[in-house]
């Protein structure tokens, strides 16, 4: 009887851990849909990996791997931007921003056209950026600054990597 109770307790614990791992993977995918749109495939794969680890690995090892993976995802998500890019704020005059940063590498009439021009760089999520106006893209190394503007002011900004 004690053996059966112990086995049921282990199964319940394993099931609870699986639910937590699936929730963490799903939460990361939702975050990626809003912030790391271009990397959604990577985050879906990561969610599947978290689920497999929860099924196959002992709880402690799976938990440690989950913490390492999700911590690295968040650490890369908050990489620092060039200082002059960080100074650009929503509401700044577009002509002043252009004078400070120079001409953009790419300019497009809307986000869809801009995505086609800046291949290889993380693009803004259409769920988060719904502006329909012009987009200017500045590129430095492996980072891209996406500025949404109406010709007069900066309406939104996004900094993404490659």
CATH of the domain at 138: 3.30.1450
pLDDT in tens, 54-80: 888 777 777 788 788 778 777 766 666
pLDDT surpasses 90 at 144 = no
More confident site: 81 or 45: 45
- The domain boundary, picked from 21, 48, 77, lies at 77
pLDDT in tens, 105-133: 999 998 888 888 877 677 788 888 877 78
Alpha-carbon distance 68 to 11, whole Å? 25
Give, as one character, the DSSP assignment of residue 90: T
CB 23 within 8 A of CB 29: no
Confidence bin at 158 (pLDDT 50/70/90): confident
**pLDDT for position 107:** 92
Domain of residue 51: give its range.
2-77
Alpha-carbon distance 20 to 24, whole Å? 6
**Looking at the structure, do residues 71 and 90 belong to the same domain, yes or no?**
no
CB 110 within 8 A of CB 135: yes
**Looking at the structure, do residues 70 and 96 belong to the same domain, yes or no?**
no
Number of domains forming the structure of the chain:
2
């Amino acid at each position: 009887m004690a053996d059966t109770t112990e086995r049921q307790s282990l199964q319940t614990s394993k099931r609870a851990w699986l639910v937590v791992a699936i929730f963490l993977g799903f939460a990361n995918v939702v975050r990626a849909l809003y912030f790391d749109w271009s990397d959604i495939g990577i985050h879906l794969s990561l969610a599947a990996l978290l689920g497999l680890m929860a099924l196959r690995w002992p709880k402690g090892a799976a938990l440690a791997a989950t913490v390492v993976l999700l911590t690295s995802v968040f650490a890369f998500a908050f990489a620092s931007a060039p200082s002059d890019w960080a100074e650009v704020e929503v509401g700044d005059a577009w002509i002043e921003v252009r004078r400070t940063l120079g001409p953009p590498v790419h300019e497009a009439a809307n986000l869809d056209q801009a995505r086609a021009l800046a291949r290889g760089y993380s693009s803004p999520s259409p769920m988060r950026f719904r502006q329909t106006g012009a987009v200017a893209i500045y590129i430095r190394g492996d980072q891209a600054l996406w500025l949404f503007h109406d010709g007069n002011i900066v309406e939104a900004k996004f900094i993404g990597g490659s």
